[in-house]
Amino acid sequence: MHPALSVIFFTVVSGAGFGLVILSVGLGLLGGVPGLGVSGTLTSIVTGVVLATAGLLASTLHLANPKNAWRAFFRFRTSWLSREAVFSVLFYPCVALYLLGLWSTGGAHGAGMTLVGVLVLLLALATVFATGMIYASLRTIPQWNSPLVPTNYLLLSLASGAVLLTGVTVAFGESPAVAGRLALVLLITAGLAKAVYFFWIGKPQGPTINTAVGATRARIKLLESGQSSDSFLNREFSYEAAAARINQLRIVVYVCGFILPFLLLVALLRTDATPLSLTLALSAPALLGIGLLAERWLFFAEARHVVNLFYGRQQC
């Protein structure tokens, strides 16, 4: 699949934003983000909302006819893209209400606040899950058609949210003990789940050119594609990354996305010096961002749409 920059940016940035909101609100419901006061929590939720919004806006850039984007709310019953749109739009009034409540009550969670908080939490989770399901529901792309995909989307969103939350906590001069440990656990879990995914897509398992063309007992090869230059189908679906490039990027994903942020956070939990801890706490999300952009690029570049079978690929 062609890796579209707007979609890569959208999924990484809004995933991190929603993750930050989920963790801030989730911890808030459990009695407040440890070490983070009301203004800190407000800041972290607002940061999350800003990131989520930036991502959602970027996602509309890949629409060829954005003037009809408002219609995307009407097929909630069948379409995961529509569900994502609905969840993300319902998220806004709820989170606004929650922020207002937090600001006016100073962090006390009455019944009303708890209800709104739970709603925010569920809608943010549902949005990220729906993003994953948009891809996972496509039977045409074997590398995506798996529960591993929404699992990865959710875990990476939570992990990046936790790393950001650690950053915010340190920026407010508080102890990152809880947020940092949470980030460590989530980074390990997300890294392992992604490793399972990389392992799973390793060997081709999708349909073959034989069932596509319909001669199941003989070797088939494309003689003529019938077109003198690439069509929409080739531009959209026939993207092939070199194996060496894929391996390099997987290293980037693991080194920048998981290992370095992990080490930085470990160092952060062991230091008290403020300027150093701030550097550590802010470079971790930056590195993670680079790692996740590479991860998302690979997610597209390694996906093989079955239409390639008709252009001569032997198996998808």
Partner 1 sequence: MKLGLVIDTDTCVGCHACVVACKQWNTSGTLGPLTDYQPYGEEPSGVAFNRVRTYEVDTYPNNKTINMPMSCMHCETAECVTVCPTGASFKREEDGIVLVDQDKCMGCNLCAWACPYGARELDEAVGTMKKCTLCVDRIYDELLPEADRQPACVITCPTSARAFGDLDDPDSEVSRLVRERNGYQSLPELGYNPVNRYLPPRNKPHAETTPGAPLPSLSERFKSWIDKAIVR
Least distance from partner 1 to the Cβ atom of residue 10, Å? 12
Q: Which is nearer to partner 1, 3 or 207 (CB)?
A: 207
Q: Which is nearer to partner 1, 103 or 310 (CB)?
A: 310
Least distance from partner 1 to the Cβ atom of residue 141, Å? 7
Q: Which is nearer to partner 1, 72 or 190 (CB)?
A: 72
Q: Which is nearer to partner 1, 10 or 98 (CB)?
A: 10
Among 225, 279, 314, 315, binds partner 1 (CB under 8 A): 225
The answer to whether 236 contacts partner 1 (rule: CB under 8 A) is: yes
- Tell me the longest C-alpha to C-alpha distance in the chain: 72
Token match 């708890």: residue?
Answer: 114
Phi and psi, residue 199, nearest 5°: -65, -45
The answer to whether 66 contacts partner 1 (rule: CB under 8 A) is: yes
Q: Which is nearer to partner 1, 104 or 228 (CB)?
A: 228
Least distance from partner 1 to the Cβ atom of residue 58, Å? 14
Among 283, 307, 314, 315, binds partner 1 (CB under 8 A): 307
Q: Which is nearer to partner 1, 227 or 247 (CB)?
A: 227
Among 207, 267, 269, 290, binds partner 1 (CB under 8 A): 207
**Among 94, 113, 111, 115, which residue's Cα sits nearest to residue 102?**
113
Among 46, 269, 311, 315, binds partner 1 (CB under 8 A): 311
**Three-state SS at 209:** helix
The answer to whether 82 contacts partner 1 (rule: CB under 8 A) is: yes
User: In angstroms, rounded to a whole number, what is the distance separating the alpha carbons of residues 281 and 224?
Assistant: 56
Which part of the chain contacts partner 1 (CB under 8 A), choosing from 103-111, 130-138, 187-195, 266-274?
130-138
The answer to whether 69 contacts partner 1 (rule: CB under 8 A) is: yes
Task: Identify residues 141-170 at the interface with partner 1 (CB under 8 A).
Answer: 141
**Three-state SS at 60:** helix
Instruction: Specify the amino acid at residue 220.
Output: I
User: In angstroms, rounded to a whole number, what is the distance separating the alpha carbons of residues 141 and 26?
Assistant: 34
User: In angstroms, rounded to a whole number, what is the distance separating the alpha carbons of residues 98 and 105?
Assistant: 10
Among 203, 226, 272, 275, binds partner 1 (CB under 8 A): 226
Instruction: Specify the amino acid at residue 71.
Output: R
Other C-beta atoms closer than 10 Å to the C-beta of 242 total: 9
Which part of the chain contacts partner 1 (CB under 8 A), choosing from 19-27, 37-45, 60-68, 94-102?
60-68
User: In angstroms, rounded to a whole number, what is the distance separating the alpha carbons of residues 104 and 95?
Assistant: 14
List, as one string, the DSSP characters of 101-164. HHHHHTS---HHHHHHHHHHHHHHHHHHHHHHHHHHT-TT-TTT-STHHHHHHHHHHHHHHHHH
**Three-state SS at 34:** coil
Strand partners, 208: 315
The answer to whether 3 contacts partner 1 (rule: CB under 8 A) is: no
**Among 68, 127, 73, 70, which residue's Cα sits nearest to residue 95?**
127
Residues that bind partner 1 (CB under 8 A): 1, 62-69, 71-75, 78-82, 85, 134, 137-141, 207, 211-215, 218-233, 236-237, 305-307, 309-311
